[in-house]
Chain A
Amino acid sequence: MAVLSIKNLFIEYQIKSGAVKAVEDVSFDVEENESLGIVGESGCGKSTLGTAILRLLPQNAKITGEILLNGVNLLELDNESMRKIRGKDIAMIFQDPMTSLNPIMRVRDHFFELFKVHNPDIKKNEMIKIASEALESVGVDPKRLNNYPFEFSGGMRQRVMIALAIALKPKVLIADEPTTALDVVVQEQIMQVLKNLMKTKNMSIVLITHDMGIVAEMAERVAVMYAGNLVELGAIHKLYNKPMHPYTRMLLESIPNIKLDDMDLKFIPGSPPDLKNPPRGCKYYPRCPFTKDICKKNDPKTKKVDSRIVKCWIYGE
């Protein structure tokens, strides 16, 4: 059975001038011990989706649908029960390690705060023990528990963030652009840490990123999002070797590579639609090279084609 299952999820942000449809009818499963990548351009709703799973969205976000974690619908839980789940059953690491640690708290106090929420009677010795183990598993010296965040480099801070997220051995880890603020060498080190954790801790990872290179190295399945829709989902090899949705194809082609014989800079012309006022029909048609009449009129349904999910009129009614 899937650990995490998203069913017909809709998310709207209510703003003064109307509603922004950030996520529209998204469904997918995350299996046990699996790494699922979610990719797309800025503003495609991938971070909103990730944040919604932990129910950390702002007040003006309206969520409908189901988010099932081990069969329990998280959207129906009250705040107190949700608090008990966050950090313990499901955890998240954020993009910017500079702003996601409290600058006036020692690293160990970040851990202690987390542990006390889930177990008010926990002893200090035990807390230090768990925290040290977590830090060790991401390659940080446990002696540094007494340091403040500013005493760490960016890469080390991101390691601390990961250690905090996995300290209570969650089943699912949501990583929202975990390496975007870091440079290549540190990024590589952090990816190694995540890969190791996946092997040793029996944990599923939902990796949200715009970097198709990272997904290729980390994920087993990939979900491609465009303007709030899930447009394609499939196994990594199949999707990269033979993308089905025109957007996936363009996205793959527009990645800068390091092959010297390929000097053609490709990009997707145009820009993503305004989600306050999206186009009728398929949201991608204004940028799509294969647009037909039907694309402008009706939104395509999500179809299952050869063990893949794709949302495009090319693949029939």
Chain B
Amino acid sequence: MVNKMNTETFLKVEHLRKEFDLKVPWIEAIFKHKKKTVKAVDDVSFEIKRGETLGIVGESGSGKTTLGRTVIRLIEPTSGKIIMDNTDLTELRGEVLRRARRDFSIIFQDPMASLNPYMRIGKIVSHPLKIHNIGTKQERKEKILSLFEKFNLTPPGEFYNRFPKYLSGGQRQRVVIARALITNPKFIVADEPTAMLDVSVRSQILKLMIQVKKEFKLTYLFITHDLASAKYICDRIGVMYLGKIIEIAKKEDIFKEPLHPYTKILMSAIPIPDPNVKREKLMPKGEIPSATNIPKGCRFHTRCPFAKDICKEQEPDLRNVNGRLVACHIV
């Protein structure tokens, strides 16, 4: 899928953290100096090369959405660096940050909730152009119409004047992608762009995303819980669990030989659309713990079928195992 992969690093995320403060009863806050925080993203580092797609997979509550939003400063990071194209995004403020935003964008999960129901499609898509003062009114309209044509939102003129409620789920998601691309960004965070769509529409949207990636020379951070979708679009995949990346490797490696027990569980949980295949399923114990109370030691040890004593004591770092990065004592 990737023919000429550039080796130049486009995005570098270093020790990124995002903690949300929770309410503590005031008496405890004052007298006991108690503070309760949710560590949604807990010391995450990774790189994305120019033109590459990095997938982030994990369960609900693993912090993957927070990570995606923090990377493009829709959420302020607690600490860490986000270096995009040699600029540290965490140091940008005010107008400078606003201007920088034309270079990156996001596709949200729910196309029903991410389009303003009182705005016509044309206005929704031209909004980013207006904010960044790009083109005249006429030029903007032409640009949008040609994009609609390319996205199979035809006839484009009709879609331009429609309200979101008259569009199907797939069409809405196309509008969301058009809006994300209208300022010619270099980087897109796609936050579960196909989770709310039907199977056949899902493939159409994935195909469109692969096509525009080539055309617009984009770099993607693709967040999903659906490993099957990740297979088609990602070059590398990072697996997140409770705010940390626990394994990151090339797509082929993850699918052929997942190393971390959690990755193995994720892989075996995917239903296989073939009644002739009966598999031994690997199941985790219980449910994902709360991010306010992350287990000591390896954060997965409470559910891991292979946990040993050391897992309860020591937190494993992301280390190199045969050229792959994995955070597990057992591997």
Contacts and interface: CB of A to CB of B under 8 A. Distances in A.
B275 A256 contact: no
Given A217-B271, A265-B206, A186 B59 contact: yes
Contact of A265 (B207, B266, B283): B207
Interface in A202-246: 210-217, 236-237, 240-241
A111 B202 CA distance: 38
Contacts of A257: 228, 231, 272-273
B60 interface: yes
Contacts of A314: none
A138 to B, nearest CB: 14
Contacts of A265: 203, 206-207, 210, 232
Contact of B284 (A156, A185, A215, A252): A185
Nearest to A218: B271
A256 B169 contact: no
Contacts of B273: 212-213, 215-216, 240, 252, 255, 257
A187 B265 CA distance: 12
B109 to A, nearest CB: 12
Given A212-B273, A237-B276, A265-B207, A184 B200 contact: no
Interface residues of A, number: 43
A187 B269 contact: yes
B59 A183 contact: yes
B267 interface: yes
Interface in A105-123: none
A42 to B, nearest CB: 5
Contact of A183 (B1, B60, B229, B274): B60
Interface of A is mostly: helix
A252 B200 CA distance: 10
Given A256-B228, A263-B232, A265-B207, A42 B198 contact: yes
Interface string B264-291: 0111111111111000010110011000
Nearest to A262: B231
A252 B256 CA distance: 23
Contact of A216 (B203, B267, B274): B274
Interface residues of B: mostly helix, strand, loop or mixed? helix
Interface in A243-291: 250-252, 254-258, 260, 263, 265-268, 271
Nearest to B210: A265
A258 B200 contact: no
A211 B271 CA distance: 9
B262 to A, nearest CB: 9
B1 to A, nearest CB: 7
A245 to B, nearest CB: 15
Given A216-B272, A240-B275, A192 B231 contact: no
Contacts of A255: 199, 228, 273
Interface in A173-209: 182-189, 191-192
A237 B169 CA distance: 32
A263 B207 CA distance: 11
A249 B204 CA distance: 17
Given A255-B273, A265-B206, A188 B228 contact: no
A153 interface: yes
How extensive is the interface on chain B, given as a class?
35 or more
Contact of B269 (A184, A210, A256, A268): A184
A19 to B, nearest CB: 20
Contact of A258 (B203, B270, B276): B270
A142 interface: no
Interface string A158-185: 0000000000000000000000001111
B255 A258 contact: yes
Contacts of A183: 59-60, 225
A183 B266 CA distance: 10
Contacts of B287: 153, 155-156, 186
Contacts of A241: 276
Nearest to A139: B286
A154 interface: yes
A216 B272 CA distance: 7
Interface string A24-39: 0000000000000000
A192 B60 CA distance: 19
A289 B271 CA distance: 28
B137 to A, nearest CB: 32
Given A213-B271, A236-B275, A260-B231, A185 B265 contact: yes
A213 B272 contact: yes
Contact of A185 (B59, B198, B256): B59
Contacts of B284: 185
B16 to A, nearest CB: 23
B203 A213 contact: no
B275 A216 contact: yes
Contact of B204 (A154, A184, A217, A267): A267
Interface string B190-202: 0000000011111
A41 interface: yes
Interface string B245-273: 00000011001100000000111111111
B275 A263 contact: no
Nearest to B207: A265
- Top 6 nearest A-B pairs (CB, nearest first) are A213-B271, A267-B203, A256-B228, A188-B269, A184-B269, A213-B273
10 contacts: A184-B266, A186-B287, A188-B269, A189-B283, A211-B271, A213-B271, A240-B274, A256-B203, A256-B229, A260-B251
